[in-house]
């Protein structure tokens, strides 16, 4: 297994008497995309700031490429991080191209690739316009461009699709796939759980600063103990004798029958489905369902 780019070891962060992050362990490896999920105040942004070196842990260790990002010697490691905050603050009087040139100088990155980077995020045609004329989605894409400067080894993205329309979101996730294929790791904090389901390799769920779950979607489904459901829409005027074949099924409005089952049972039930079934749907637990379950747990599930 490859060495982590980012690693948190038993990290706790306190703000006075308040514990924002409580004994969290987390590893982020090359090419991996990890979703960071939790309610407001769960500790997501605090973890990102700890990785960036903007905060020091009260206990435990934060390592980026083997260095403490908050230490003076961690400057090289910090330059290997790209960060997109939830609320992008950009100087409105600058153009998009000038903004990216400014950040390139801050990061000590050659600005020669800036035009190509603006093209990647769909802003090349607007590069000479002032940021004050940009929509929120355009500002978000410009923020993503600055996060990608210098081809960082890890991207830290806090609600990165905020303000993006559906087409721009698809383009954004396509760009993430390219970045990951090049070997970069991605830590993605988001409330848009439905989007994360098909994007991330692993999901880390936080509740009141503690990690309550860490695993891929299949692992979390098993740990949560939420079984899939089969829904059947019956044909109209189904005789009672045919309904008797659905013993144990729950009846829902509109002539729909539903039953919970295990994954192995799904195939058997579909194979023996009566001809009176007009439509059949298999409903597996979503990330929203898993979050609802684990957000009420205090145990750490790995």
The least confident of 20-29, 121-130, 209-218, 274-283 is 274-283
Q: How far is CA 157 from CA 94, 104, 143, 229, in A?
A: 23, 18, 10, 34
What is d(CA 72, CA 94) in angstroms, rounded to the nearest whole number?
31
160-171: pLDDT as tens digits: 887 778 888 888
Topology at the third CATH level for domain 1-80+152-222+286-302: Rossmann fold (3.40.50)
Tens digits of residue pLDDT in 179-229: 999 999 999 998 778 788 888 999 999 999 999 999 988 888 888 888 888
For residue range 46-101, list pLDDT tens digits in order. Answer: 999 999 999 999 999 999 999 999 998 788 899 999 999 988 889 999 999 999 99
Q: Is 210 left (phi over 0), alpha (psi -120 to 50) or beta?
A: beta
184 or 296, which is more confident:
184
Q: What's the pLDDT score for residue 127?
A: 96
For the chain, which residues make up each domain, given as ranges?
1-80+152-222+286-302, 88-149, 227-284
Give the model's confidence band at 301: pLDDT under 50 very low, under 70 low, under 90 confident, else very high: very low
CA–CA–CA angle 27, 28, 34 (5° rounding): 110
What pTM did the predictor assign?
A: 0.82
Contacts of 31 (CB under 8 A, 6+ apart): 180, 181, 183, 184, 185
Give the closest residue to 182 by CA, choosing from 112, 120, 103, 104: 120
């Amino acid at each position: 297994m490859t060495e982590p780019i980012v690693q948190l070891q038993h990290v706790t962060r306190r703000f006075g008497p308040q514990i924002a992050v409580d004994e969290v362990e987390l590893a982020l490896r090359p090419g991996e995309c990890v979703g960071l999920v939790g309610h407001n105040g769960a500790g997501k942004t605090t973890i990102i700031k700890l990785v960036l070196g903007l905060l020091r842990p009260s206990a435990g260790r934060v390592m980026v490429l083997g260095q403490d990002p908050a230490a003076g010697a961690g400057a090289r490691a910090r330059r290997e991080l790209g960060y997109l905050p939830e609320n992008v603050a950009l100087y409105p009087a600058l153009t998009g191209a000038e903004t990216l040139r400014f950040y390139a100088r801050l990061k000590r990155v050659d600005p020669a690739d800036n035009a190509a980077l603006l093209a990647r995020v769909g802003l090349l045609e607007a590069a000479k316009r002032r940021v004050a004329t940009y929509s929120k989605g355009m500002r978000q894409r410009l923020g993503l461009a600055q996060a990608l400067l210098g081809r960082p080894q890890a991207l830290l993205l806090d609600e990165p699709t905020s303000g993006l329309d559906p087409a721009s979101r698809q383009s954004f996730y396509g760009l993430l796939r390219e970045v990951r294929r090049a070997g970069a790791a991605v830590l993605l904090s988001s409330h848009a759980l439905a989007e994360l389901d098909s994007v991330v390799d692993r999901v880390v769920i936080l509740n009141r600063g503690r990690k309550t779950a860490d695993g891929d979607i299949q692992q979390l489904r098993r740990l949560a103990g939420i079984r899939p459901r089969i829904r059947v829409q019956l044909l109209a005027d189904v005789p009672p004798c045919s309904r008797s074949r659905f013993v144990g099924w729950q009846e829902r409005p509109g002539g729909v029958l539903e039953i919970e089952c295990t994954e192995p049972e799904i195939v058997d039930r579909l194979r023996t489905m009566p001809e009176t079934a007009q439509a059949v749907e298999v409903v597996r637990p979503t990330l929203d369902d898993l979050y609802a379950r684990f957000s009420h747990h205090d145990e750490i599930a790995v």
